[in-house]
Structures are given as structure tokens and as C-alpha cells.
Chains A and B, each alone.
Chain A
């Protein structure tokens, strides 16, 4: 989309001031950039994350800031416009000189920001579950990699639900496409035949689900138990679950496990017909534990009683606190020092276990499977021990040989077969 040239205005507003600003380095206040869309299609999800970061910054300041400095949040609005993300990231890093950025939701926006962050050696915390196949020196991925959400969820479907035939339904964009590719390869490894995997992609906001749901029901004709793995995004879920309910498909007949449906999405739905369907995340608001209770209470106090918490919020919570620890440890906000200090940092997550930052810039995260309940929350059925995130999936032949280790190998895309570093900068 053609979009306004924002930094031009930033220039007009800040103008020549930017030159003297460059002179100082890593001094008070410590600036925290927030790069989440506040308008446009993604505002629905990302505004929540902006508020989360602001809340975390507030907390940290109440605790006395960092290194004796106040934290200051710099909020910009990339307006759900992918090129604008790159421009805003550049503005944050070169005009506002932020020390760290918390931001992005969609993969495409992350890909847009990557070159800028790498060029200007920034630090980005990305809080959303994603398709993997990426490892940047300047990005910490605090959301789930496929092996921390998709693969365990599929295992759960096979083992616990007894599903033998899979319908992979997704919205047509990169996360579902890549995730489904990985899952197809994984399912074949597990001995599921080609004919037992049905894949369908629908546009964003799709509403005409009747044929697709009938197709899925029809899959049961060869006597195998059918299950749906849904990477359907956002609003389209509403029509999908409504159609499931209308056609009388219960969770017992055809269980649906979703990777993109959380508390926030359910708040737009009447969930009485969805009870029993599943979702896989690394966090649910219903998790037990004092840390979570305190977090939820603080959130509700700040934002209103009807607001819910969700998985990417927890990712920011962990990411932010780990960053704060790393800054304390490094004694500076200088990016490379903080990055080195990040490795091996641990922090209590909100579900009762401990997250650790790995040298591949991913976290260890527990996998939770929850069942939708009538009140729009999730009933946690199982919770695994924390699983280390894997940047390069083991189930696609091209990436099975790759590994990422920024600590010892200093390489995000290391070919273990030929023992060479394919590249140190991302190829986006």
C-alpha cells in the first residue's frame, strides 16, 4: 500500500536536532522502542502488545529503572503497512536512538524490519509464534518456533485424540503455508499417507465456510478419525467456528486444534458451541500460579476488567525482563554487550516453569494444550516441560542440516554437514 512518508514528518518535527542527538551514546534515559501497529488491520492484535510493553516499562521504572536510569518508551505506529515497518525501525534506531525494540506481529513485517535492524545493529524482540527458518543476530525470538507449538500439538492430535487423517486449514499467508509444509513432512515421517492429509488455504477474513467444513466431514468416509489443524487467522475463525457449530460437528467427532486462536480472538465469539475444541500455546490466561495471577490482575487493573491476556503478551513479559537482566549484567545498553549477556539468561515464565535464552536466540518454552470453555477461556489439559526452540526445523530436508548458534559458532545459519557458515546476515 502506498503510504505516507512518515519519517519526513519526523524530520520536520525533530529536524536538525537529530544531529546533536547522535553525539551522546547509551546515556539516560534508556529508550525502549515500541514498533507495533496502532492502526490498520493488525492494530487489533498489536495494540495490546504496545500496552503490555508500556506496562512493563512502568513497572521497571517503579522498581528504580535500569543502571540508575529511567526507562522511556518511544511508541511509533507502522500502521499495519509492511514497508512502513522498515522506515519506522530506521527512525527508531537512527533518529530516536533507542536501545532496544519490542515489536512486530506478522512475519512479513519482521522480514521488512530485519535488514534495517541488522544494518544499524539494533536489538529486536519478536513476541509471536512464527514459522521458523530464520535466525538473525539482532533478533530475539520470544514466541514459539514450530517445534514449540505445531509439532507437539500434532503429536497430541495423533496420540491423545487418535487422529489418523488430517485437515490442515489455514489462511493463505506465509506462517500457515510454511507451518503446514513442515507439518506435512512431519506427518509423513509419522507414517501418515499422502492421501490422509487434506490441505486448504482461504483468504484473510474468509466467511463462506460451508463447503470446506463439508469437505472435512466427508474425509471421515474411509473410516479414519479426522482432526483439523487450524492456522486460520483472525476474523476468519469466527465464520469457521460458526459453520462447524451449524453443521453439528462436535469436538468429539472432529477435534480442531488451532495455533492462532487465543483469548483475544475468542472474545469476539459466542463460545458455547466451541467448547471442547483445542488450542496450542505456550501460555493461557487460565494458567495457575502467583506470577500469572499478579500479571493478569495488573493488566486488568490498567486496561479494564473485560480485557484478557494472551500468549504474545507473555512472550513480551519474558523478553522484557530478560533484556532488563541482561542490561544489568552487561552494565550497559550497548547492543553487542547485551546480546552476549542474553545467552543463558533465565526468567520465571507465567506458567510455573523457567524460560532460558538459548544461543540460537530462541527461548525454552512449555507447550500447553487447552480446551475452549464456555467463558471464552481455555482449560489447560496438558503442559509439557520447557522445550528448546529450534530455528531451523528438522523436518524439511533443506533445513534439517542447519543450526543456529550465535554464542560459540557466531553463525545463524550453520550447515552441520559441510561445517560451514552459510551466512551471518539474514537473506530475508
Chain B
């Protein structure tokens, strides 16, 4: 601290002139340090209003948490270069030497304040030579549309050279005009110009125009203002209770004492073991309570009870209206028309979006289940440890990422590595355990369950119970966004593509290769296959390894989009089995259909009940159970096979 002060003296202080940014900041020092969105506005206003030249970089520094205060309370910008922190004078913009940030206090604006600073910066940034800053300004306007931004925005459109930015500016100008414009005609035309735009920001600008307030008038009268609609109490938009509460609020009806009010009143007015002439001991009966209370009311000590009939009468004597806050009916009409047309589009888009979500979920289930379709569907082996193979694949990818830091390369390396690891594990398991248990499916179930427990616990011992980070490369990071409603993240698209590739691979393998031919032969009749020179043991081993290997690759994909934990496999095992069973065992198209059905069902139920995803999963499982009762062999049933064979 003293060292810093010495440094300060040695450098010779930039003499404090009147009207320096430093003085401004000092004037507002307390507010800036307090750093609360509620109180910061005057400080920002004062700084902007000064019109000083260096205001913009200081505000930007503040916004980026690069404004610091030293022990004497002076403000500094701190920039980082080559890992070193350098002090910059707020007034001159000169670098004054290395910063000792340990002895300084960082000003930490929260995101609310950052948004306010952003808004304040708009007027500087709109015409900033750097397109990046102009874009920031537009983002700030979108986030926080204020009436006073309309004029500078309009002024900046003329000089905008970047075509893309210019288009965005024009759009934003319309958005601001429809809300804050002065002439009715310009507002209506702005609304009409955007009436096909489904963006959230457009809806966010339109909906407030249609805000209404509740008005009460005596029956038969009409309220003043831009009336939206008449409301009937008890209808969808206005409950009886709310309507009556409104009457009470306006003093048009007496308040309704509820049970606890009555109880309190009785308690307060008891005299000599009786209240309202009724002995206290009898008050356990609601009817007696009402009588006692009425007696009190008759004496005028408490307000009378309000019966249902009274409520209805009071409501009947008044009419209720929703009245637009916006006075201009031309604007509200246009806005309503625009909202309706946008609403239709948004509805359709939402359908598409849900469709994409369902497709994506289906492809995840398909990917998780495809290995099972090989081991269970083709070979008839119940592998409860299938989920753990998925987990092994994901952990392999995690390990690869630890070794190969480049995420793209590590992903490319992880896929075959995961396949090899899980293939080997699958082969080992087939040789050591499953081989001895063919024809004993229930015991296979138990044995593989034992393996599943052991593998899961081993993973916990080796990797710990904490989730491990597996991060997708940047090119898989974002989302493909059609508009504000329809969008899907790239990683999901990648999973979808991967699922398609596996479908193709599986079909090719089964229909076009020697191994596929042999597998089919062994599945259909092992004895006959053996007698024509196929080694059933070898084929079973390879097929099982293949199914496991595919599970490993699925694990990489699932780990990338969700998480890598020792329990990730267990999350998918029941769904995977159901996918295979629902689709129909022994047929890859069936698995596909099963995944589509389960994914679609789940998303469909989620749409019906958006607040409870757990319920969606529950009802999806119930639906699947019922479905299997009616089609026990699945959607695509192979002929000649009974469920359970």
C-alpha cells in the first residue's frame, strides 16, 4: 500500500483539474462502490452528462470489471497484457506502470448494473468506428429498450455502412417506434412491418401494448378509455373471488370475514364463558359458531357475515371490463392482429421444435439401445451391464481428453478408443460368463446384474463419485437456430447423425458381411450353423463384443451432451430395454420405431404438462407397459416368435 503511494508520488500526480473523469468518479465514489442497481443510475447519468472525452473507455472498463480503486480512493483502469496487470489513468488513458491489485479494490458491477452501463454506452457505441462495439450497443438496446434511445438510434441508421448492422438497426428502430413512437401512424406501420416476425423480442415489444387493467362500473355503464373486453365474474379471465375482492377494494362491497376471522372475533368477544349467548364449549360445531357470530354481528360488535347470495348480488350490480393501458385503439388493434398472426406462426414453430426435440431424444435412446439390439435382440442375451458399457465408453473419452488436450483430436481418438475398450470388455464378459449361461436367460440377467453392480462400484472407486467433465469441441458447442422458437444444439444434431450412421453400419454388417451372415445363421439355428463349419462360439463372442463396442461409442456421445458419472448407465438401462422390447426384438427397424415412440411419447406428455418432467417420464413408462400388453411382440414383430422365447 505504501509502496503504491510512493509510486504515485514519484510519478507525479496528474493534477486534479476541474471536470476530470477522476473527479466525476470521486463525486460518485460512494454510489459506485455500493454497487447496487437501485442506486447506481444517478452516478451513470452524471458521468455520461459530463460530456468528457474519456467517458466511454471508463464506462467500458467499469462494465468489464476492470475499474479498480486504490488505497487513497482514486479510480484506475487496469488492463492485462501478457499476464501482467497495468494501471491506466482514467483521464489521460496513459499507462502508469504495473498494478498492485492486492492493495486495490475491484469494482464489481453485477449484471443488472452492467446492463445499465451498457444502455448508457449506447449513444457512444452506436457510431463507434468498431463494428463490434456497434453490435454491443444494439444488444444493449434489445435487452433494455428505453424511449430515449430511439433518437440516437434513428440518427445512426443513416451513417451505418455495415449491411447486416444496418438491417438490425432498422428492425430495432421499428421495435422502439411501436412502443415509444409519438405519432399513431408510425407506430401502426411499425407494428404491421413486424407482424410476421416470431422473434421473442418482437413479441416482447408487442405484448406490453396489450396490457389491460380491470375496471368496475355500475351495471349497464361503459368505462372510459380503450376498452378491450367485458369480463364476467367466474369466467376464465376473472374468478368470482378476484372480482369480489376488487369490489371490496373499491369500497363497493363489505369485506367477507373468513373462518379464522370469525374464530378470532369469537375469541375476542367472549364474556363469562359465553360468546354471543352461546357457551364456549359448544363452539366445536360450525353451525353453532355461525349463530354465535351472527349474534355478535346483530349487536354491531363485528361486521356481519357475507353469504354467497350477497356476493352474487354485489357482483350482479356491477360490470367488469378489461381496459387497455394503451389509449390508442388503432395501435391496440394493430398489435392484436399482429399478435394473432405471430401466435399462429409461433404455434406451428413450437410444433416443429417439439418434433426436433422428440427426434433428438429418440436418437439418444436409439443410440443407447442399439448395442442392446445386437446383444438382446439378435443373440437373446439379457445384458444388465449394458449401461455400464455406456459408462465405460464415456470414461474412456474422459481419459483420452486428459491426455489429448485438443478437443477435436481427442474426440476423434476417443470414439475408436471407446469402441476398443468396451469391445474387449464385452468379449471378456462373453467368454467368462455369458457363454456358460446361454439358454438360461433369467440367470444371465442375474449374473450380468452382478457385473453391473461391480463395474459401477469400480468406476466409483477409480474415478470418484464426482461427475467428470467431458467437453465437446467448440464447433459442437453452439446451436443451430432457425429462429427464436426453433433451434437445436449441434451436439444433438451430431448424436442424430451418429445414430443414423450406426443404423447404416448395423444394416451393412448384418446384411452384407460374412460376420452378419454367420450371426444370423447362429441365431436361427446354432446346431445347423455349426455343422456347416461356422464356429458358433466365435460368432457369439464377436457379436457380443460388437454390441458392447457400440454401447461404448454411445457412451461418448451421451457423456458429451449430458454428464459422465458412474451412474449414467443405470439411467438408461430400463429405457434401453423398453426401447428394444417395444420396438420388437430382433429387428433393427423395430428398435428405431421403439426409440421414436418412446421419445415422441415423452415429449408429447411433457408438452401437456410442462411443469413436471418427472410426471412425463412416469406416464411414458405406464403407456409403454400398457402398449406391450396389447402388442407383446413389439411394434415390428418377427413372425414365428413368441414374447419370451
Among A82-90, A93-101, A219-227, the stretch that binds chain B is A219-227
B93 to chain A, nearest CB (A): 26
Query: What separation, in Å, do the CA atoms of A269 and B38 have in the docked complex?
Result: 33
Give the A-binding residues of B (Cβ under 8 A): 35-38, 108, 110-115, 143, 200-201, 203-205, 207-208, 346, 353-354, 357, 360-361, 364, 460, 464-469, 471, 477-479, 481, 484-485, 487-492, 558, 561-563, 565, 567-568, 571, 603, 606, 610-614, 617
Query: What separation, in Å, do the CA atoms of A220 and B144 have in the docked complex?
Result: 12
Given contacts A44-B465, A252-B143, are A243 and B489 in contact (CB under 8 A)? Answer: yes
**B612, A246: Cβ atoms closer than 8 Å:** no
The reply to whether the CB of A162 lies closer than 8 angstroms to some CB of chain B is yes
Interface of A is mostly: mixed
Give the B-binding residues of A (Cβ under 8 A): 39, 41, 43-44, 47, 159-162, 172, 198-203, 205-208, 210-212, 214-215, 217-218, 220-224, 235, 238-239, 242-243, 245-248, 251-253, 255, 264, 267-270, 273, 276, 369, 371, 379-382
A230 to chain B, nearest CB (A): 14
5 contacts between A and B (CB under 8 A): A160-B38, A161-B37, A200-B610, A202-B614, A381-B110
Q: A160, A218, A270: which has the most chain B beta carbons within 10 Å?
A: A160
A159 to chain B, nearest CB (A): 6
**B208, A371: Cβ atoms closer than 8 Å:** no
Given contacts A203-B614, A206-B613, A207-B571, are A223 and B354 in contact (CB under 8 A)? Answer: no
Hey, which chain B residues are within 8 Å of A247, CB to CB? 479, 481, 487, 489
In the complex formed, the residue of A with least CB distance to B570 is A205
**A207, B208: Cβ atoms closer than 8 Å:** no
**A201, B617: Cβ atoms closer than 8 Å:** no
B486 to chain A, nearest CB (A): 9
Given contacts A202-B613, A210-B492, A382-B35, are A242 and B561 in contact (CB under 8 A)? Answer: yes
The contact of B110 among A205, A264, A371, by CB within 8 Å, is: A371
A328 to chain B, nearest CB (A): 37
Query: What separation, in Å, do the CA atoms of A321 and B271 have in the docked complex?
Result: 54
Given contacts A215-B610, A246-B490, are A239 and B35 in contact (CB under 8 A)? Answer: no
Given contacts A223-B207, A223-B208, A239-B561, are A160 and B37 in contact (CB under 8 A)? Answer: yes
B112 to chain A, nearest CB (A): 4
In the complex formed, the residue of B with least CB distance to A223 is B204
Hey, which chain B residues are within 8 Å of A39, CB to CB? 460
In the complex formed, the residue of A with least CB distance to B615 is A201
Query: What separation, in Å, do the CA atoms of A49 and B561 have in the docked complex?
Result: 30
Hey, which chain A residues are within 8 Å of B610, CB to CB? 200, 215
Given contacts A198-B611, A253-B143, are A246 and B478 in contact (CB under 8 A)? Answer: yes
**A207, B204: Cβ atoms closer than 8 Å:** no
In the complex formed, the residue of B with least CB distance to A80 is B465
In the complex formed, the residue of B with least CB distance to A168 is B611
The contact of A210 among B357, B465, B563, by CB within 8 Å, is: B357
Q: What 5 additional pairs, Cβ within 8 angstroms, besides A161-B37, A214-B357, A247-B489?
A: A44-B465, A160-B110, A247-B487, A248-B479, A268-B469
Given contacts A201-B612, A381-B110, are A222 and B471 in contact (CB under 8 A)? Answer: no
**B613, A218: Cβ atoms closer than 8 Å:** no
Query: What separation, in Å, do the CA atoms of A140 and B57 have in the docked complex?
Result: 51
The contact of B361 among A47, A208, A220, A221, by CB within 8 Å, is: A208
Query: What separation, in Å, do the CA atoms of A239 and B613 have in the docked complex?
Result: 15
A206 to chain B, nearest CB (A): 7
Query: What separation, in Å, do the CA atoms of A199 and B615 have in the docked complex?
Result: 14
B556 to chain A, nearest CB (A): 15
Given contacts A246-B489, A269-B469, are A220 and B567 in contact (CB under 8 A)? Answer: no
**B479, A268: Cβ atoms closer than 8 Å:** no
In the complex formed, the residue of A with least CB distance to B36 is A160
Q: 4 shortest A-B CB distances, which residue pairs?
A: A207-B562, A246-B489, A268-B467, A44-B465
Given contacts A44-B466, A161-B112, are A199 and B611 in contact (CB under 8 A)? Answer: yes
Query: What separation, in Å, do the CA atoms of A162 and B115 have in the docked complex?
Result: 10
**B562, A239: Cβ atoms closer than 8 Å:** yes
Hey, which chain B residues are within 8 Å of A371, CB to CB? 108, 110-111
A176 to chain B, nearest CB (A): 11
In the complex formed, the residue of A with least CB distance to B480 is A246
The contact of A221 among B207, B354, B460, by CB within 8 Å, is: B207
Query: What separation, in Å, do the CA atoms of A161 and B143 have in the docked complex?
Result: 12
Hey, which chain A residues are within 8 Å of B469, CB to CB? 268-270
